C-alpha cells in the first residue's frame, strides 16, 4: 500500500502572507512582524515552494495576488482564525495583536520600558512589541499604521497632534571639574550620525562661531557619558538624561542650545482607549522623572489640541 506523505503548512508562513497582503508591502510587513524584509521574502518563497504555486503576480505593479494566491489567502485567514480561537480557549487574550511602541534611541531608556512593564502587569492580556529607532523613522511608521504609540523628539513641533507634549532642555555636560581652552576648538563627544543630537550639537557650535574637534563618536548614550566622564570632551544631553557620572555645566562658555520638543503620538484606530491609557502611563513616568530633577518650574508648551496634557519644562 502506498503511503501519501502528510504536508503541514506552518502558521507563521500564513501570517507572513496575510501581513504582506494587508499592508501591501514586504517592507511594511517586516516592520509589523518585527523581522527583516529578507526574512519575509524567504517565508513567502518557502510557502510557495511548499504549495507549488506562485502567490503573487510578478508582472503586475505592487503587491498583486494571482488567482491561486487569492484563494490561498482566503483559506489562510480561515485557518488562522480557527488556530487563534483554539489558543484563546486555553490562553485568553493570546490572539490579541501586540501594541507596537516606538521609543527614540536611548531616550529615557530605563524609565519607559519600566512604565510599559508596569502597564502590562495591570493588563496581563496585552502583548507588546517595543522598537527603538530615530524619531523621524518612528513618526513615519506611525503615519503608515505600523506603530500604535510613539515617543518622538524633534527640533520643532510636529504636524501631528500629540496627546502629550513638552520641551526637553538640552545642557552641556563635562567630567568633574573639566575645563576647555577658550581659544582652542571645543573637544566634542557626540553620537554618530544621523542622530538628532549630533545635528543639534554641531549646529549649535557652528552657529555660535565655535570651532570644534570631534574626539569621540559614540553609538549609544552610555558610551557618550563614559567618554565625557573620562575627560575626553564635552557633550549635549537632555537635562533629565544626565547621570551622576558627569556634571551639568550650567555656565559653560559655549552657545546655549535650543530645547527639543518631545511628544507622545497615537495611531488612529478603533482601540484608542487602550493606547491612550498607555500613553498617559508613559507621560506620567516622564513627568515624575522631570519632577525629580533640579530646579523645576512649570512652563508648558502652547497647546496643539485642547485635550493635550503637558509635562513641566525643566531648566
Q: What is the pLDDT of residues 138-159, one digit of tens each?
A: 888 888 777 889 999 888 776 6
Q: 99-168+260-310: which CATH architecture?
A: 3-Layer(aba) Sandwich (3.40)
Cβ contact 271:125 at 8 Å: no
Residue 72 pLDDT > 90, yes or no? yes
Secondary structure of residue 23 in the 3-state scheme: helix
Q: Which CATH superfamily is domain 170-248 in?
A: Periplasmic binding protein-like II (3.40.190.10)
The residue behind cell 565625557 is 228
Q: What is the mean pLDDT of residues 259-285?
A: 87
Q: What is the DSSP string of 192-247?
A: PTT-HHHHHHHHHHHHTT--EEEEEEESSHHHHHHHHHTTS-BEEEEGGG--TTSE
Give CATH 3.40.190.10 domain extents, the chain.
Answer: 99-168+260-310, 170-248
Residues forming beta bridges with residue 238, ordered by sequence position: 170
Cell 569621540 -> residue = 216
User: Is the pTM for the entire model greater than 0.75?
Assistant: no
Amino acid at each position: 500500500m502506498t503511503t501519501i506523505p502528510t504536508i503541514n503548512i506552518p502558521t507563521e508562513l500564513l501570517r507572513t502572507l496575510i501581513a504582506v497582503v494587508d499592508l501591501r508591502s514586504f517592507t511594511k510587513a517586516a516592520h509589523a512582524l518585527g523581522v527583516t524584509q529578507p526574512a519575509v521574502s524567504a517565508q513567502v518563497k518557502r510557502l510557495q515552494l511548499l504549495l507549488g504555486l506562485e502567490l503573487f503576480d510578478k508582472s503586475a505593479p505592487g503587491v498583486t495576488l494571482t488567482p491561486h494566491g487569492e484563494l490561498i489567502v482566503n483559506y489562510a485567514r480561515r485557518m488562522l482564525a480557527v488556530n487563534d480561537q483554539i489558543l484563546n480557549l486555553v490562553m485568553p487574550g493570546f490572539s490579541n495583536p501586540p501594541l507596537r511602541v516606538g521609543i527614540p534611541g536611548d531616550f529615557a531608556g530605563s524609565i519607559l520600558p519600566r512604565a510599559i512593564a508596569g502597564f502590562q502587569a495591570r493588563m496581563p492580556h496585552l502583548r507588546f512589541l517595543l522598537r527603538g529607532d530615530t524619531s523621524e523613522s518612528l513618526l513615519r511608521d506611525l503615519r503608515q499604521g505600523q506603530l500604535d504609540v510613539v515617543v518622538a523628539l524633534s527640533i520643532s513641533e510636529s504636524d501631528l497632534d500629540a496627546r502629550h507634549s513638552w520641551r526637553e532642555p538640552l545642557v552641556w555636560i563635562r567630567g568633574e571639574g573639566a575645563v576647555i581652552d577658550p581659544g582652542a576648538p571645543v573637544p566634542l563627544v557626540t553620537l554618530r550620525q544621523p542622530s538628532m543630537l549630533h545635528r543639534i550639537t554641531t549646529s549649535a557650535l557652528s552657529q555660535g562661531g565655535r570651532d570644534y574637534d570631534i574626539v569621540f563618536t559614540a553609538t549609544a548614550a552610555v558610551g557618550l557619558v563614559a567618554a565625557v566622564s573620562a575627560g575626553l570632551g564635552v557633550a549635549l544631553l537632555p537635562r533629565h538624561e544626565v547621570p551622576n557620572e558627569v556634571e551639568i555645566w550650567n555656565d559653560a562658555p559655549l552657545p546655549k542650545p535650543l530645547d527639543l520638543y518631545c511628544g507622545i503620538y497615537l495611531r488612529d484606530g478603533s482601540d484608542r482607549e487602550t493606547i491612550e491609557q498607555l500613553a498617559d502611563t508613559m507621560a506620567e513616568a516622564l513627568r515624575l522623572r522631570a519632577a525629580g530633577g533640579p530646579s523645576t518650574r512649570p512652563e508648558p508648551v502652547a497647546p496643539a489640541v485642547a485635550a493635550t496634557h503637558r509635562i513641566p519644562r525643566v531648566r
